[in-house]
Structure 1
Amino acid sequence: MKKVFIVLSGLTTLCPLVAEEIQPDTLRNIQLEEVVISATRAKQTTPISFSDIPEDVIKKNNFGRDIPYIIALTPSVTITSDAGTGIGYTAFRVRGTDVNRINVTINGIPYNDPESHGAFFVDLPDFASSLSSMQIQRGVGTSTNGAAAFGASVNMQTDNIDTEPYAEIGSSVGSFNTVKTSIKAGSGLIGNHFVVDGRYSVVNSDGYIDRAWVDMQSYHLSLAYSADQTLVKFLTFGGKEKTYQAWNGVDLDLVQRDPLNYTRHYNDLGRYIDDDGKVQFYDNQTDNYTQTHYQLHLTQEFSPNLYLNAALHYTAGEGFYEEYKTDRKYTEYLLTPPVIDGVPLKKTDLIRQKWLDNDFYGATFALHYQKSSWNVVFGGAGSNFEGDHFGKIRWVRIPNNFDPDKDWYRNTSKKTDVNTYLKANVEIARNFWMYGDVQFRYIKYTMKGTDDKYDEETGAMRDITQEHTFPFFNPKVGFTYRANANNSVYASFSVAHREPNRDNYTEAGPNEKPTDEKLYDTEIGYRYQSPSFSFESNVYYMKYKDQLILTGKISEIGEMLTTNIPNSYRMGWELTSAIRFNPLLRWDGNLTLSRNKIKNFTEEDINVYDVEGNWLESRSTYLGTTDIAYSPNVIANSMLTFTYNRFEAVLHSNYVSRQYIDNTSCKDRSIDPYFVNNLRLGYTFSLPHTKSVTAGLEINNLFNVEYETNGYNSETYYVDDKRVNKKRYFPQAGTNILANLTVNF
């Protein structure tokens, strides 16, 4: 028998448990699978700040909401949901850094979109049901594959091999007509070598925001072959989503001025005036996307000290969003205006579709060597991305022989990303480890063709043809000292680089030239663990050169826009702790106190108009040191857990301080602080012919708090020296519930 620790909410819980007896063959299979992710994961002797979320915690918190709502239990994390419920389009930030700057991998395979750098969990609904663990590394972290980690990295591992046959049926129902149904099954070991596992899920919800419904499906299928020293595993997983657009947010100033006609969940997307002069909402104002992943992993043990992990991967994505646009110029869509009574019309209503058709493929490898005081990994990856962007006009209110199959614009993108790394963790003296990590990364990115913006000067769609290359060298060094079984300290210094994403180039102003950014990350921490108490304290200083900082503006599809800022930093103090009061009661908590600043900031190019609406000038204002947008100074989580036999109750309390929605530190353009409580109840029992039955209830926003988690400036300008700000916010649902029932056979 051996003792193990369960990790909860990024903390090691305080009661050692006796593990079940594991057969040698099964143990070997598990060890081989762990090699798949060990190349990119941190260990207790790695000198960085990280949190592990194991399978049991994922399962307990998986009621159907997206991955960010499970990550939200860990330090320095804020989350947001377009629909206000955590289902559909969701996102998270770590240390104020948005998901476009957070590295996300699945089994060591890059998941971030190579162009936008985003990680869209809406494309993998109910993916949590196929996860065995997650690790969140804060800061630069260890070298990994794919997008740069400029605030954090998230590593997800899918289900491990289960050598026993099983079946699982789960369903969640709740507020806003939310229904999630999933079916899982596994063959167990077949012929001593093969295992097949599969899952299929359906998620539907109306959403809190008007018409923000979702209709999503996903699957996960794996086939594994294991022998004494070899593991081969093929996986395919994917999702299909259709969601009503809710990425514009809500004009809360309008709600305040006219509460009889507008509410906190009012959604103006799809709004138009019909031929009778009545307000209507287009019923297919939707986002539609299908994403399919294929992964083939090989893990080979050459000796007890030497392993190889290699993988091939391919991801296919295709979809479009459709929208009703009002009062649009014919010329900006390359349409010929009709002539009425000898006068050509200038504007019309139309329905358009903007398409993506992407292919992403590549390979990864990692060679592991471990013996006595040495732990060395040599690895890397290479990938290619090919993407088509094109638009179609499907309907025009007053047409003139237009062709609905003709492209209104089309461009192609190609991106090659190659990296290699060598990292070693060496015990250079008793209980004293030195960590070294060097990575070289090379990116080549090209765009060719026209995009969706009309160029008045040329009378054609704008040409965005361009090419960029980036060679990056990213070194890391650190030390860990373990004084005894309970106490350890660590320190590290890391350098990271990140290239601009597609929007940085296509949304740049006429005088903007986006460039890569550089990060110097210093982390110093202390850890204490015992059977009744654990504590970790970490201080960090992240100094940026040319950081691509969120501006508070969004693109027309809701993507947050950024611009280079020469000099900025993030510094903070992260605390995590857990106390076991008695066998029934435990408390887990984490707290982040931070400063996130831009030095010598100038707000540039704000238009000034007179009272008649005539443009006067473009104004720039020097503001000195200001707060970085979307970066709260305080983030706190408290989790109070009561356990009695097979019953568990958890009260989760979350506080987030004020966040500014631009970089001016103006309170009028900010998200108010919020304090929200959620209650989760769970009870496990058994019935005849079942292994277990788990019933759960989640009551979110227990005290019905009105709060918002995100926002932006749709417009900002001066009229007669008075600042006008047209702001949008993303309100979250009031008290709402989700109940689930999971039966295991």
Structure 2
Amino acid sequence: MKNWFLVTFFFLSISSVFAQGKITGKVEDENGPLPGANVVIQGTTNGVATSFDGSFTLNSSKATGTLVVSYLGYESKKVSYSIIGSSSDLGTIVLKAESNVLGEVVVSTTVIDIAKDRKTPVAVSTIKAAEIREKLGSQEFPEILATTPSVYVTKSGGGFGDSRINIRGFDQRNVAVMINGVPVNDMENGAVYWSNWAGLSDVTTAMQVQRGLGSSKLAISSVGGTINVITRSADAKQGGSISSTIGNDNYLKTLASYSTGKMENGLSASILFSNTMGNGYVDGTKFLGQNYFIGLGYEINENHDIQFTFTGAPQWHHQRSFANTLADYIKYGNPSENKPNIKYNSDWGYLNGEEYSWARNFYHKPVASLNYDWKINDKMKLSSVFYGSWGRGGGTGNIGRSPFAFKTANGLVPFNDFYAYNTGTYDPANRDALTAITGPSNLAPTNGEQISSRTAGFTRRASINSHDWYGSVINLNTKLSDKFTLDFGVDARTYIGYHFRNVNDLLGADGYFDNRDINNPNRFLYNTYSASPSFNPFTNVKDQEKIEYNNNGYVKWYGAFTQLEYSTEKLSAFVQGAISQQGFKREDTFLYLKTNDLYMTDYKNILGGNVKGGVNYNINEQMNVFANAGYYSKQPFFNAVYPSNQSIVAADLTNEKILGVELGYGFRSSIFNANLNAYYTSWKDRYQRSSDPSSSNRNGYYEAFGVDEIHQGLELEMTAKPFKTLNINGMVSYGDWFYDGNATYKKYDQNNLLLGDGTLTLDKVKVGDVAQVTYSIGANWEAVKGLKLDANYRYADNLYANIEPGRFSATNNKGTLLLPSYGLMDLGLSLKLNRTKDSKDSFNFRINVNNVLDETFVTESRTNQFTATQAEFDGGTGDGLINPFGSTTSASNKLKGTGSGQYPTYQDYLAKGVYDGVDVRNQVFFGFGRTWNFSVRYDF
């Protein structure tokens, strides 16, 4: 027995010695190698990370065992090994991406709320980085969503970054925009200025549009929906990209980026820089913008991960801020053929031979964020993000003498004449303008200096809207069991908005006279301030000389939220609740004496919140149904708390109430997918402020109170893949959006002087400024490997003009003006060529042609001038409308007659006073005609 034991022991010892050897292999996903993947022998700390090409070599002292292969964003995989001789080659190990991966980004933090297919019960559309990079081209960032159900996107005036978006009939002030889980809607008015995010498309890896309630746990007011943007991260795959894009109207964009990938020490970095410039499609809309992104990451261990990002997009661009009448577009186009010049812009001209504009926007809004994810144990995870944003900039306009009556023969602004007038060298005989400028009696030199005041001379001012914004979102995610998950978190923000005007360009004058500061009246000012963005995000705005007004808005937000989620293979459901307190404080150093309590108010604190829930049931592997419902008590915006630009809290202040219900059905198969949604949203007690489009009250505004709306509709989104190389997509959305009951309004001039008030007869009037019916159909075809052709046609119908409040003060209004429908065709061609047959680096070529058929179309109207009927024309009632105070249309606006701008006969009116069924007195914006862009990109 003793000898047998010794022989056995000796044999096992020898076997153990010879079993020591090397395990080799390669880790990939469906796209290629995964450098930095973790390979660990199960039950030990013995492991390695894969190299650049995904390969690994691991020493083992055991002849058999199991490897655990893992990579962030991928499902871990266990692989058995058995060493024969001195090594074991496992070949290629393929990892499968987790369900929470969008494009190249991995959503590992619970701060970001991503809707998952066949699980999250909300209506959602997802667009990944490859599609954004290819199809967007030189278009604005929101335009990539133009083929999404119930989404309406326009370029507005056409300036760089001036586009806007509506979802389910709600404008972007009432659509929550989230970037990596951080809310970015302005804390005072809810606005999102896309020019501030002009470089967002460069760093976006995926974007989800969650229509309706959305899946965000925060107490945000996603009345129309949520745009959830996921950007690059520091631990993106190793590699880089260099690209250049050219396009119509001297468009030029250059970009370079590089990511280290996650290194063996856990560190990672990613950087991106780009520069964009051009003349703009619309006349007088030159622009220049940069974009930068810096990401740094550190995975301390598998339980602790830190990500820091800093991104910004400083830019300036000239705008078309004023919507001209159709008559003006035709006047400066081809009047004989009643053909408009859709590029016409009345805000610009030339000064000393260079393009110069009254309307110039300039801004820099960098955002820094620090994400920390702590995996406390297998069931609990704490995710936090701390962020700051520092916006600096504003937009310019005119002040002093009204310049709008002065135009050159081409309809441009005669800035050289204004400069000469301000310097006292103006000669009417050599003027550029059609009308001579006559000097006002109160324009006189002071101490030998020419002074431009509000009523004398011409000056370009800047309206500054800067801010300092800090916040944090912290979420604790706990798996209570295999089926239940509980989230609890807090959302805190603090914001200061700085609002004032300064002098940007004296246009030759020696100084500016201001008498608007009650604490420092009758000041002569001589400093001017640049209308270009500062790269320093901490520029001090407090010490600048201010004119016209100077007020600061303070907003504090404290929120708490919780969500309980239930999930099985068949059934998933959630219930969520959130509460928030917003505090609003106003400081006004011009309107009130320092001794006045209204100089700086106390915080007006208002509670709000929401509750929502939903359930999804997977009928089988192909079909699922879902339903959700929710109620919001939404705090009003800052200007509703302090209306009329004063520091007195509104007497009838109330929260807005939103009730939403939604049903959905989904179908999935290997060749066809479809989603069908039905929704109903009720919005009550809304406050709405809108500008007055009338030229007689330029820069004036309306305030409407107690506005109620109903938004309901159907959405169908489909994709089909009949062949491996062909994808077909389509969507149809039908909306029925209207006002429910009447409201009240007040009308003010630009100096906050009350001009009148009354009742708005809005009941059953269609919600305007949006197309209520849209559909599209498109296809992507890979003709040969690396060569792809895509086309898309989209159509907008039931397009209504913006509500002009003054037109609805009488019961005999005609409702909302219906604008002509339009359809647009876009084409694209992509070519990808690998540098060598087996290399991963490649050259990519892309050409886009938008509006291929060069369709001329109106995207929006600021006014509601209806085409006159024969009876109205003959009766001398002109446009058949009522002015804001109930009296009939003034004689100067009547159509019938022989005077200037009038028509002798009804047929003459139809021929010259109507364009495509729309009265030419309407103030409109046209969409762009045919445009193109071509890009070359090298990925390595």
TM range (shorter): 0.7 to 0.9
User: Counterparts of 2:121 and 2:465 in 1: how far apart (Å)?
Assistant: 41
1:116-135 paired onto structure 2 within 5 Å: 116-135=189-208
Shift of the 446–113 alpha-carbon distance from structure 1 to 2, 3 Å rule, reads same
For 2:146 and 2:623, the matched residues in 1 are separated by 27
2:344 corresponds to which of 234, 243, 266: 266
Measured after TM superposition, the shift of residue 76 of structure 1 is 1.1
Given residue 589 of structure 1, which amino acid in structure 2 is its aligned partner?
A: G
Q: Which moved more, 1:498-507 or 1:591-600?
A: 498-507
Matched, 1:722 2:889: yes
Write out per-residue CA displacement over residues 395-432 of structure 1, whole angstroms, 9 at most, x where no aligned residue: 274856821343223212211112111112214x7722
After alignment, is 570-579 or 549-558 more displaced?
A: 549-558
Distance 1:209 1:737 in 2: 14
User: 1:632 aligns to what?
Assistant: 771
Per-residue CA distance 1:352-375 (angstroms, 9 max, x = gap)? 122233110111111122341123
Aligned match for 1:46, one of 109, 120, 126: 120
Return the alpha-carbon distance in structure 2 between the equivalents of residues 302 and 231 of structure 1. 12
Q: How many residues align?
A: 704
Instruction: Answer yes or no: is the 8 Å Cα contact 1:48–1:137 preserved in 2.
Output: yes
Percentage identity across paired residues of the two chains: 18
Counterpart AA for 1:522: V
| Secondary structure in 1 matching 2:764 | strand
Contact 1:231–1:298 (CA<8 Å) still a contact in 2? yes
Any residues of structure 2 matched to 1:273-422 within 5 Å, and which? Answer: 282-283=356-357, 285-327=359-401, 339=444, 346-370=455-479, 371-394=481-504, 395=506, 397=509, 402-405=524-527, 406-408=545-547, 409-422=549-562
Deviation at 1:550, TM superposition (A): 7.1
Shift of 1:649: 1.4
2:564 aligned to which of 424, 430, 434: 424
CA deviation after TM superposition for structure 1 residue 549, in Å: 5.2
| Alignment partners' CA distance in 2, 1:435 and 1:180 | 44
Output the CA distance in 2 between the equivalents of 1:308 and 1:565.
Answer: 42
Contact 1:632 1:656 in 2 (8 A): yes
1 CA distance for matches of 2:343 and 2:110?
41
Structure 2 partner of 1:485: 621
Letter in 1 for 2:924: Y
CA distance in 1, matches of 2:394, 2:708: 38
Residue of structure 1 in register with 2:322 after alignment:
248
Q: Of residues 605, 611, 622 in structure 1, which corresponds to 2:761? A: 622
Which residue of 1 is the match for residue 742 of structure 2? 601
Indicate conservation of the 8 Å contact 2:704/2:743, yes or no: no
CA contact (8 A) 2:562 2:577 kept: yes
CA contact (8 A) 2:743 2:761 kept: yes
Partner of 1:611: none
What does the per-residue CA deviation read over 1:596-621, in whole Å, with 9 as the maximum and x for residues that have no partner? Answer: 111223686799xxxxxxx9997756
* Distance of aligned partners of 1:361 and 1:204 in 2 relative to their CA distance in 1, 3 Å threshold: same
Alpha-carbon contact 2:686-2:706 (below 8 Å) kept: yes
Distance in 1 of aligned mates of 2:756 and 2:372: 62
Q: Which segments of 5 or more consecutive residues in structure 2 lack a partner in the other structure?
A: 1-28, 40-48, 50-69, 75-99, 101-105, 404-440, 514-522, 528-544, 749-753, 866-881, 894-918
- Deviating more after overlay: 158-167 vs 590-599: 158-167
- Cα distance, 1:290–1:633 mapped onto 2, change above 3 Å: closer
Residues 1:347 and 1:134: Cα distance change in structure 2 (over 3 Å): same
Match of 2:432?
none
Match of 2:21?
Answer: none
Q: Distance in 2 between matches of 1:347 and 1:36?
A: 58
Task: For 1:109-188, list aligned pairs within 5 A.
Answer: 109-145=182-218, 147-162=220-235, 164-188=237-261
Go from structure 1 to structure 2 and tell me whether the alpha carbon gap of 1:619 and 1:506 turns closer, same or farther (over 3 Å shift). closer
Structure 1 residues 485-504: aligned runs within 5 Å: 485-504=621-640
The answer as to whether partners of 2:347 and 2:357 remain within 8 angstroms in 1 is no
In structure 2, the partner of 1:434 is 573
Classify the secondary structure of the residue corresponding to 1:352.
strand
Contact kept? 1:103, 1:148, Cα under 8 Å: yes
Counterpart residue number, 1:692: 842
Instruction: Please list the CA deviations of residues 557-587 of structure 1 after superposition, one character each: whole Å capped at 9, or x if unmatched.
Output: 9999773444321001111111212223221
Instruction: Indicate the residue corresponding to 1:30 in structure 2.
Output: 73
CA contact (8 A) 1:142 1:437 kept: no
Aligned residue for 1:646?
786
- Tell me what 1:13 maps to: none
Q: 1:328: Cα distance to partner? A: 5.7
Determine if contact 2:309/2:369 at 8 Å carries over to the other structure. Answer: yes
Maintained 8 Å contact 1:242/1:286: yes
Shift of 1:469: 2.0
* C-alpha separation in 2, matches of 1:733 and 1:654: 15
CA distance in 2, matches of 1:418, 1:294: 20
Going from structure 1 to structure 2, the CA distance change for 1:160 and 1:486 (only over 3 Å counts) comes to farther
Specify whether residues 464 and 732 from structure 1 end up closer, same or farther in structure 2 by C-alpha distance, changes over 3 A only: farther
Tell me, yes or no, if the aligned pair for 1:62 and 1:129 is still in contact at 8 Å. no
Amino acid at match of 2:683: Y
CA contact (8 A) 1:700 1:735 kept: yes
| Greater Cα offset, 708-717 or 209-218 | 708-717
Q: Secondary structure at the match of 1:29?
A: coil
- TM-score, length of structure 2 as denominator length: 0.69
Q: Which structure 2 residues correspond to residues 448-463 of structure 1 after superposition, within 5 A?
A: 448-450=587-589
Q: Which amino acid aligns with 2:459?
A: L
Aligned residues: CA RMSD: 3.8
- Write the letter of the residue equivalent to 2:833: F
Question: Which region of structure 1 is more displaced relative to structure 2, 256-265 or 232-241?
Answer: 256-265
Deviates more, 1:33-42 or 1:680-689: 33-42
Q: CA deviation at 1:554?
A: 6.8
For 1:736, the equivalent position in structure 2 comes to 931
The amino acid of 2:635's aligned partner reads: E
Asked if residue 107 in structure 1 is aligned to residue 189 in structure 2, the reply is no
Note the C-alpha offset of 1:449: 0.4
Which letter maps to 1:268?
A: S
CA shift, 1:438, in A, is: 0.6
Could you list the runs of 5+ residues in structure 1 that have no partner in the other structure?
1-16, 330-335, 608-614
Q: Higher strand share goes to which structure?
A: 1
Matches within 5 A, 1:458-607: 467-504=603-640, 508=644, 515-548=654-687, 553=692, 563-601=704-742
The partner residue of 1:681 within 791, 810, 829 is 829
**Worse-superposed segment, 215-224 or 690-699:** 690-699
Q: What amino acid sits opposite 2:935 in the alignment?
A: N
After TM superposition, the structure 1 stretch with the greater mean CA deviation from structure 2, 668-677 or 551-560, is 551-560
Change (3 A) 1:584 1:616: closer
Deviation at 1:255, TM superposition (A): 2.3
One-letter identity of the residue aligned with 2:341: T
Distance of 2:357 and 2:176 partners within structure 1:
36
Residues of 1 paired with 2:725 and 2:330: CA distance? 46
CA contact (8 A) 1:139 1:150 kept: yes
Query: Does the aligned pair in 1 maintain the 2:473–2:489 contact within 8 Å?
Result: yes
- Judged with a 3 Å threshold, the aligned counterparts in structure 2 of structure 1 residues 430 and 560 are, in CA distance, closer, same or farther, namely farther
Instruction: Check conservation: 1:631, 1:660, Cα contact below 8 A.
Output: yes
Question: How far 1:377 moved relative to its partner?
Answer: 1.9
Change (3 A) 1:201 1:21: closer
Give the C-alpha shift of residue 706 in structure 1.
0.7
Q: Whose RCO is larger (CA < 8 A, sep 6+)? A: 1
SS of the aligned residue for 2:612 comes to strand
TM-score normalised to structure 1 length: 0.85
Q: Contact 2:739–2:765 at 8 Å: present in 1 too?
A: yes
Q: Partners of 2:312 and 2:764 in 1: how far apart?
A: 45
Structure 1: distance between partners of 2:113 and 2:238? 30
Letter in 2 for 1:484: N
Aligned CA distance change for structure 1 residues 616 and 104 (closer, same or farther; 3 Å): closer
